[in-house]
Chain A
């Protein structure tokens, strides 16, 4: 029973990480229907910016954090301006392959500059944030993750429901032409959504880096783990991403704990195929209606 509980808690913690990594991905999909294969590399870029600012420039944590967020905001903006904007209205395969190409570029860039080693951040979270229930221990990072994901969930929920920009984004995601004809500045919406998504991605990258250490290969493979998570939750639902993340995380730790450790990494994809066959728009996704 204790083993079960510990696995459950671990699973939820890992799942929260998946969920938080998936949020930036959902952000982009929700506003521009772009499937971003470079998401893992965006996470890694954020994590490495932060790493350099903290260890090389020796800036205080909070300054480094804010600078990273600003840097990634600008980066997302530039990616949209130079790479994605020319492709508005192009075929799906071009958009997908463009993000795949971007992923290779970013990965090569990171490897050129930082190399493929595993780095760690200096400890900076207070030990008091760790939680202990009987024999089950939750590390401070995980409780920080929980807090961050809840904050972001609320913020994004409000942003998409209440703010004008959020509503513009939803309208663009739903139908670009209709949004354009109703006076929505579609290009600005795209630029903003990429900027915000890169910002969220960098933040998730930092959180992941605190827990697992910073390594390009690990972070970019998380970028692929995002797919089962968002499909399960629904591609355009941010809350769904968190719940999907938790479900996938729990499934992973349970198969790792009870069945076999090697099956652990494939289980999300098996689940993915199953969901796609049964409920392709996920648990909380919007069902697309198609007209000829």
Chain B
């Protein structure tokens, strides 16, 4: 049994491997263990079904946000098409489940792979374009995918939508919020683990090099086009995976939700959570999902206040206004996002009583 390590009072790394450690101290390891235990063994059994629904929504959004963070936060390529990628994943899973009758354990990963291919096609312009030109190209990708989803009637049933069968493994049927909770959060943990580790590998370092200066990265021998495509692929894999989970969870899907607004929401998650920070993406997903639910609740309450209804005011657009305001305020006040706030809180505990 080795010694339980606490935070050292300086930087005592002796090799690169130590610097790449995910957990600086055993304390962090224990905290994560406790958190995961609470999440899996306590949370689903004590919270109300509505809270469980919110948790599941957060989990799905977090998977997509982690993927987008790999692309935006680590590789520096902005994609406005992730709402559509999410839709591609959802439709791929739905079509496989209804037409081919494959189980969810195949349909969901394969949906992710199909989305990764679509994402790489949309990412092809990144070979030539960067910055705002690439952003506009992905914007075009968003509209084209949306159009294809609506118009390819024979495959996607257009505006009619598709109803999925309940996912089944052996004889056990996954249905209800609690069963989905485990499916979604086990996926989220696996996906987070994968994302954290890929960022410590040579691929992650290449992504970061491309973000910081793509010309210099090329000069150092990184084939930037290949890595940009790879980043698009990984990132859309996450989006597609999340979309497929969402399709199973929602049971029936239509093309409507996968619009530009959804893409914007995901970017908002990445920015509010903190760019280039994997836990940040989870924070961002939590924040935006809770904000959406809160605003829905708030507008619902305001609709029933006599004074407002008698004035003839429609309070629903308040949701949009506040959403925009939150994005703007975060960018202006804390552009590094919730992850930075979390770091400041942690370090002020660590440095107590001399925190600054």
Q: Do A and B interact with each other, yes or no?
A: yes
Binding site for B on A (CB under 8 A): 35, 83, 86-87, 90, 92-94, 96-98, 100-112, 115, 224, 227-228, 231, 262-263, 265-266, 269-270, 272-273, 276-277, 280, 290, 292
Inter-chain CA distance A96–B263, complex, in Å, is 13
Residues of A within 8 A of B328 (CB): 83, 98, 101-102, 105
Instruction: List residues of chain A with CB within 8 A of the CB of B321.
Output: 104-105, 107-109, 112
B347 smallest CB distance to A (angstroms): 24
Sample of 8 further A-B pairs with CB below 8 A, known A100-B264, A276-B140, A280-B129: A100-B324, A104-B321, A108-B321, A227-B140, A231-B136, A277-B124, A277-B128, A280-B133
Residues of A within 8 A of B137 (CB): 272-273, 276
**CB proximity of A265 to chain B, nearest CB, Å:** 8
Main secondary structure of the interface of B (DSSP, over half): helix
Nearest 8 interchain pairs by C-beta:
A108-B321, A104-B324, A111-B317, A101-B327, A105-B324, A108-B320, A269-B140, A101-B328
Q: How far is the CB of A45 from chain B (nearest CB, A)?
A: 13
Q: Known contacts A228-B140, A273-B144, A292-B219; is A97 also within 8 Å of B268 by CB?
A: yes
B residues in contact with A110, CB < 8 Å = 317
CB atoms of A97 and B324 under 8 A apart: no
Q: What is the distance, in angstroms, from A279's C-beta to the closest C-beta of chain B? A: 10
Contact B78 A96 (CB under 8 A): yes
Which listed residue, A87, A105, A115, touches B325 by the CB 8 Å rule? A105
**Which chain A residues border B301 with CB–CB below 8 Å?**
none
Q: Decide: B324 and A102 in contact? CB cutoff 8 A.
A: yes
Interface residues on B, range: 35 or more
A90 to B271, CA, bound (A): 13
Q: Which of B136, B313, B319, B335 contacts A90 (CB 8 A)?
A: B335
- CB atoms of A272 and B140 under 8 A apart: yes
A262 pairs with B332, CB closer than 8 A: no
Chain B nearest CB: distance from A134 CB in Å? 36
Bound together, the chains give a CA A103 to CA B320 distance in angstroms of 9
Q: Are A94 and B314 in contact (CB under 8 A)?
A: no
A277 near B125: Cβ-Cβ < 8 Å: yes
Chain B's closest residue to A227 (CB) is B136
Of the residues B216, B264, B324, contact of A292 by C-beta under 8 Å: B216
Smallest CB–CB gap between A205 and chain B, Å?
Answer: 19
Contact A98 B331 (CB under 8 A): yes
Closest chain B residue to A106 by CB distance? B324
Residues of chain A lying within 8 A (CB to CB) of residue B323:
101, 104, 108
Residues of A within 8 A of B132 (CB): 35, 92, 96
- Pick the contact of B139: A227, A290, A292 (CB < 8 A): A227
Question: Does B213 lie at the interface of the complex (its beta carbon under 8 Å from any beta carbon of A)?
Answer: yes
Instruction: Check A112/B125 contact, CB under 8 A, given A93-B78, A96-B78, A276-B133.
Output: no
Choose among B143, B267, B326 the residue that contacts A269 (Cβ–Cβ < 8 A).
B143
In the complex, what residue of chain A is closest to B215 when comparing beta carbons?
Answer: A292
Nearest B-chain residue to A34, judged by Cβ? B132
Q: In the bound complex, how far is the Cα of B275 from the Cα of A90, in angstroms?
A: 14
A to B CB contacts below 8 Å, 28 in the list: A92-B78, A96-B78, A97-B267, A98-B327, A100-B264, A100-B327, A102-B328, A105-B320, A105-B328, A106-B324, A107-B320, A111-B314, A112-B313, A112-B315, A227-B136, A227-B139, A262-B147, A265-B147, A269-B140, A272-B136, A273-B144, A276-B128, A276-B129, A276-B137, A276-B140, A280-B129, A290-B215, A292-B215
